[in-house]
Amino acid sequence: MEQFLEFKNISKAFPGVQALDNVSFRADGGRVCALMGENGAGKSTLLKILSGDYQPDEGHVYINGEVKSFASPYQSIKSSISVIYQERQLMTAMSVMENIFLDDLHENKLGFINKPLLRRKTQEIIDVFGLPIKPTDIVGRLSVAHQQMIEIMKAYRRDSDIIAFDEPTAPLTAGEITILFNLIKNLKERGKIIIYVSHRMAEVFQISDDIIVLKDGKLMTTFKTSETDEKSLVKAMVGRDIGDTYAKLRRNEEIGDVILEVNNLVTEYIHDVSFNLRRGEVLGFAGLIGAGRTEVMRAVFGADPVSSGEIWLDGKAVSFKSPKNAIDSGIALCPEDRKEQGLILGRSIRDNISIPVLSKMKKRLFLDVKKEERLAAAAVSKYSIKTPTTEKLMVELSGGNQQKTILGRWTSEMMDTKVLILDEPTKGIDVGAKAEVYQMVHDLASLGIGVIFISSELIEVLNISDRIIVMHNGHITGEVTRHEATEERVLELAMKD
Ligand SMILES: Nc1ncnc2c1ncn2[C@@H]1O[C@H](COP(=O)(O)OP(=O)(O)OP(=O)(O)O)[C@@H](O)[C@H]1O
Ligand SMILES: [Mg+2]
């Protein structure tokens, strides 16, 4: 019999927001149901109800017509549900095999683990995925992409009937996305119910059969993927026609002198990297994930040790011992992985935005709270961060709204930035907010700031940058101007040794 999952009249409120408002829909086995909507629309909340992390205020979940209630994640797993969260939930100090078999280890009341068996079973799963990792590798030492794949392996291992993915591809390389999509196709053929949350249009059109659109916690529309197009989908999500973002971009055309020059930079991860950046320029860094772009920027920012090479900022040779030195000299870096770098989850939006400029906000000995509030409120409005107040804790924000807060921190008017480095700034943010970020980048460039924009989304780098540097395997493989750049040319460089 065909399996099916139903959400009936689900509502869930948090202080100040109705995260879900009477949501009902059905997902059928053998199909991929995509869940789309702006940041804060309620997608992750819905999945957390399915996973037993949250209880709905109203409504119920049904599986094959039978009402279910999950008082805990454990009960959800027992009902053959696996949810792969937006935030990774791995035990980073443990091995790959311990992570993959974590729930089984828990059940083993004897406290005895058959390691050779565990290793063999884990290797079988790794082989299915075809990844270069070992069962005994410590998870915390693996790349973010491989950590994400381990989350997916965990779900695969359980062989659940219902599998929900919350933005699974955000940290993955092109090769890993192919592996994931083949896996999803296989799960689909086996009649599984698949829920897929993503902000990436192309992916949703490639992998889904049905699309459910949420907005402000309400179900707006459902589409059959084959019967809709990107434009209609965006319109349903945003509530208006946003048109061609890139065509509407007001670019900065005034490019000045060199502000940052990097010569023959070498670190543990990168070889002989040289480039320069001009005032008012938007310099794109393209490449496949793992090409070394983040590593270059970490070295420039004083976050990783430099073995040799020179960095010149505004005509002076610099060598930063720590990110604090770099920030004081006018370099800001908005990091890629908001979870591991930069965000203080237990603190408010306001605290997270004001951190780098706290010393400038003193009124005599005390913090000028009003000034701090103005700064935070400006970011909330600039990026439409969905929150009732600036006091809301970061942990309580949706993934995309956390990303926007980080952007707000590094682009606030008090930053005095000369060089702004944005590492995958649009990861996980919705279509409307992406347009705001592109415009913000060019507005900052118009003020004379040199902006470095790292992105793995080729179309985005091509459209937003004045010049593009391409990296592969820790070194620069080429450079193209905006006018010369084509997808083919950049891809070719991204794969060149
Ligand atoms: N634990 C929580 N406490 C307070 N508010 C919360 C909590 N979890 C979610 N919210 C709020 O509920 C709303 C919906 O959040 P949710 O995480 O479901 O959004 P989302 O659609 O997944 O967005 P994104 O695309 O940014 O990940 C947001 O306004 C968010 O701030
Ligand atoms: Mg989410």
Tens digit of pLDDT for each residue in 295-338?
999 999 999 999 999 999 999 999 999 998 998 899 999 887 76
Give the CATH number of domain 246-494.
3.40.50.300
Residue of the CA atom closest to atom 8 of ligand 1: 396
- If you average pLDDT over every residue of the chain, what do you get? 90
State in Å: Cα 437 to ligand 2 middle. Answer: 19
CA distance 87 to 468: 30
Q: Whose CA is nearest to atom 27 of ligand 1?
A: 399
DSSP structure class, residue 434: H
Phi and psi torsions of 361, nearest 5°: -110, 30
The lowest-confidence range among 91-105, 190-204, 285-299 is: 91-105
Structure tokens at 142: 């693996």
Residues of the chain with CATH 3.40.50.300: 4-240, 246-494
Instruction: Quote the pTM value.
Output: 0.83
Confidence of residue 1 (pLDDT cuts 50, 70, 90): low
Residue at token pair 């393209």:
286
Average of per-residue pLDDT across 417-431 = 90
Phi, psi angle pair for 92, to nearest 5°: -70, -20
Residue 465, H or E segment: none
Give the ligand 1 atom nearest the CA of 86.
Answer: 27
Judge whether residue 36 has pLDDT over 80: yes
Listing DSSP states for 362-394 in one string gives: EETTEE-HHHHHHHHHHHHHHTT---S-TTSBG
**CA–centroid distance for 8 within its chain:** 29
- Least confident span in 66-70, 287-291, 453-457: 287-291
Query: What pLDDT was estimated at residue 18?
Result: 94
And the tokens for 223? Answer: 């589409």
Q: What percentage of residues in the chain have a pLDDT greater than 70? A: 97
Position in ligand 1 atom list of the atom nearest CA 17:
29
What gap in Å lies between CA 372 and CA 386, rounded to an integer?
A: 19
Residue 442 φ/ψ, nearest 5 degrees: -75, -30
The pLDDT value given to residue 108: 52
Ligand 2 centroid – CA 222 distance (Å): 19
Supply 269's token pair.
Answer: 């991860």
Read off the pLDDT of each residue in 143-163 and give the average, rounded to a whole number.
91
Q: How far is CA 217 from CA 14, 399, 485, in A?
A: 11, 15, 40
Other beta carbons less than 10 A from residue 186's beta carbon: 12
Counting ligand 1 atoms within 8 A of each CB, the residue from 87, 167, 397 with the most, and so the one to mutate, is: 397
Residue among 10, 11, 12, 14 whose CB has most ligand 1 atoms within 8 A, to mutate: 14
- 4-240 CATH choice from 1.10.340.30, 3.40.50.800, 3.40.50.300, 3.90.780.10: 3.40.50.300
Q: What are phi and psi of 458, to 5 degrees?
A: -60, -45
Beta partners for residue 138, in sequence order: 95
Q: What is the identity of the amino acid at 182?
A: N
pLDDT confidence tier of residue 73, bands split at 50, 70 and 90: very high
Round to whole Å and give the CA distance between 101 and 114.
11
Query: Nearest CA to 212 among 229, 195, 227?
Result: 195
